[in-house]
Structure 1
């Protein structure tokens, strides 16, 4: 059985986390697209398990939450007209929770933007925290019931509601956002410190995620073609961001700053972790007889 060298596997994972598309990774490394795709799937599964096990009992003070839009296979408005529909096609939202002090991605969730997905996300956030925190979200109404269900009264929660002006005119461009003319800080639960009611850090982290993941790039054909691969890429990126990169303002990785890691990881470490989680291959030509 052919096996890629560790350095080559680490190179592929690095390129995927630095904004390269799967086809460009194929061209740069000389590996087939099937090899790149399989490694992404294996890495996504291993990283999701690793994050679930390691990012626990986080002692945070302030958590910021936000969601970032992308789409799978087709934008939501075009799903009905798809010639070959695929599962999970349409708008895809990646929810993230960030520790404002250590910049650790505490939780990530890929799904829709409805109340059920908000509940899944907030339940996961709550399960990873070791103490009462102050939380800030934007004004998305799905957060209200989700935060209440996950934390009850054991949280200091506020919403940061942005106020936008008129829609941009055609001279500014079709995809130019409306101008933000102000904000409102609404206390929802507990006693949040209004001076720290902000989503700036998580929004900046989500911008970094968009820039370092080709499938998040707008106005290209680099969008995700499979929902599962989108989730795998987010899981891989989260581990890379938390454990393998030094944050410039902290001068350590977010995981080290948060106390969930004692050293800086490399992509070789991630590649070795992925391999360790794979099932051992059987003897060549061996098989199990199907039970009919």
Structure 2
């Protein structure tokens, strides 16, 4: 919703201010389709040249984040802490019993309680692979932490590709606008024998290219890139929380301490309160009793 409001605000303020200043939309509307074909077409071509198929699909999908916001909400972080609590407690009570859950999370009575988390393959793989390592007596917490950090960093770098690709296009749009404007000036020079009123309209149409390139770059594509980057970084906190809790577990801290470490490392806008998490964990214990 905020993204849509932002787009409407940009359009109303820019064109509204232009009209209030006495500007006329006729020249812009006449030149806009042709300038848009040149600028947007060139930008699309540059985007296709600089990215492969999966990256293009990934970028198109990630543009929806501008309107949807981060994937993980407050309740998801609470659910993740509850999921990790159940797994760690079971692993300490019965190491053999936890294996069926980490080897087949889709059929696990624990994982299936949290369908949103279960749908995220990377989150499930991160949990299961680390729990599996712990069950194999992989007892060097520092080495496990390093492996997890490298894995999370690699995934984050991959996820950030969409914002980088959009920013490259944003950086190039003003120059493409100049290209379109220069072509418009070339067209104008071919009509140099026309009266001033005709030349004025031709020059005005050419300048629409410069306007459109800068307008798209700083009004839309650049902000889209920034928003996708912010949302991607926010979503990466979910995987960092998994790392913090599981490393604390490898350091043999009490189960409740491991979960508290995760709670305190949760971003403030999604962090459950201590009492809220306690109530959720108590409900788990009562249902298991």
In the superposition, the TM-score normalised over structure 2's length comes to 0.23
TM-score, normalised relative to structure 1? 0.23
Query: Which structure would you say has the larger Rg?
Result: 2
As a proportion of its length, which structure holds more helix? 2
Higher relative contact order (CA 8 A, sep 6+): 2
Name the structure where strand makes up a greater proportion of residues: 1
